[in-house]
Structure 1
């Protein structure tokens, strides 16, 4: 046989054949196991609200954030209605009120309803296109009257944030006759600007019918240096502020909110997922495997010659 041409004796040949067979079986089992472990079921975030209320004519946003989505599509539909509203970024109903806002860095697929009306009220389903029944329910309430008209500015967000978690602050500024032209953000007196390197994101949009300019400041992967006083200032010189403290928690006993695999917090909101838990992916290099075979051949060859 071809191995004997290299001068390997019978004992060495038997040893080499055993090692090669063992390596092949090991590689096959690793591939089977890793193939089973690579897939992770999508998981809904419970940080997003599952019960929202808007006045008639406002822009309603139903948030849906999903981890491990992979190549799956997000589907929105209204409960108890047979047709879907959206699939991915595409709207499948002849209604200009609906749109999709995909916020990639927050893994969100949000359903937007422009100038919401009482007929839009109800329970909406954010689904994932899998054979499993994966969905999250969001209740939309619509008050059948325009939002109260008032001038002012308001800021909201968590006062305490664990180190590494995002800081998310929202500011709404309302003008007398129209939305303010702009909103500026400051931290400890220093103006903040969008910075992808520092993971600082600022989003703005205006609602003409409510004369409101909406802005969200997000700082991903917060650090201790992000603690401080955050100020929101409109171009009408309306100012409000909020103190944020980043906590240096070595270990977290349990994440408050965050991505979870259980059901939502509201009475009607729920999500389901298979009971199996995700496991780390097992990776193996084919090149390393063949390198191992080569080294095995050399070792067995040397041993067989020593025995001979």
Structure 2
């Protein structure tokens, strides 16, 4: 049994041997089984494409699988702008639907310094089955706290929010005591957690593509796999 990457006709594995310098690729074959699984560690969007499992029987059997890798994205809850009263608490929550090893916050182009002379800066990180959340808190907000805040999880596309610290009320997007003014954010968080759980439990969607016969043998209709993954995750393509 061999696995081939169709875009460059590169034989990645044959039997239990790997024939690529990219160490992210490997083959898994449990003893006394008919499973030959191509594994891609740290899957990236550039790994998208057609992979073909070839069984060296007579006639030959081929199974094509289309893998589409979508990079994971961070999301900061709420709108893209937050207006906060001077002296109140700035509360920014960032979520990703996988276990990010680290999440870094930036204020402008500088990493948020929790040991700065300003004080009153803290971070709450939580990891659940649904993924990772990071909450940045800045107490006693001042005008100098205004600006762009960016959440940068390892292995995901960052997310940003623009914060304005003002003296008066702003009816459109005001935070009060570190909380959003409406219950819509709680509903949004519940929906995001539910979606993340569904993605974790049912990560693959299959669709049958038209069968194509390019050479003698048995060619099984191709399957499409679509996954939202991070660069920290491993993807397996199954051949049985």
- TM-score class, shorter-chain normalisation, is 0.3 to 0.5
- Calculate the TM-score normalised by the size of structure 2: 0.45
* Greater relative CO, 1 or 2 (CA 8 Å, sep 6+): 2
- Calculate the TM-score normalised by the size of structure 1: 0.36
Name which one, 1 or 2, has greater alpha-carbon Rg. Answer: 1
More helix by share: 1
More strand by share: 2
